[in-house]
Amino acid sequence: MEVALKLENPAGKATDLTTGESVNAPKDWHLILGPYGLQTFALSPDAKITGFTAAPPQDIADALQKQAAETLDRIQQMQAANIPLPAGTDLLAAAIKTAMEKNQLAWLRRALNSYIIRKADLIWQSAPIPKDKQN
């Protein structure tokens, strides 16, 4: 995951608290973290973090968007076939659509693993969908 920090008054160096190594810390500092990666640094007392962004790899973002689109499609197909869905499915589907539009990936991941969606997936797997209602 790419992480970008904006620093005010950086001394140009930071200390990696894991290794004790001195590393460059420019005003626009970019780091790459691996899965579940955590890094800690010590900056000069005058340094301030004035901005922060983190962006997951594009393939992960694309996969989440695709999974969400497929989930919404399955929900629509089950609704069209009058298959009963868990309570709250409509509200969650609308929220998933909004999260897709706003690229809210962390929320999207949680929603796609929610009880309602997992239950809808079980219903999907066991329900006979008429051929004319399938994509």
Range with lowest mean pLDDT among 26-35, 71-80, 103-112? 26-35
The better pLDDT of the pair 127, 131 is held by 127
Phi-psi category of residue 88: left, alpha or beta, with phi > 0 → left and psi -120 to 50 → alpha: left
How many domains would you assign to the chain? 2
pLDDT tens per residue across span 29-50 = 999 888 788 899 999 999 999 9
Decide if pLDDT at 77 tops 60: yes
Q: Which two tokens stand for residue 63?
A: 């996969």
Task: Return d(Cα 55, Cα 103) in angstroms, integer.
Answer: 11
62 and 126, same domain (yes or no): yes
Confidence at residue 129, expressed as pLDDT on a 0 to 100 scale? 59
Range of the domain at 18: 2-55
Pair 45, 62 in one domain? no
Contact 99, 111 (CB under 8 A): yes
Q: What is the pLDDT at residue 54? A: 86
Q: How far apart are CA 14 and CA 3, in angstroms?
A: 16
Are 32 and 78 found together in one domain?
Answer: no
Shared domain for 77 and 51, answered yes or no, is no
Residue 1: burial class (beta carbons within 10 Å; 0-12, 13-18, 19+):
middle
Arithmetic mean of pLDDT over the chain: 90
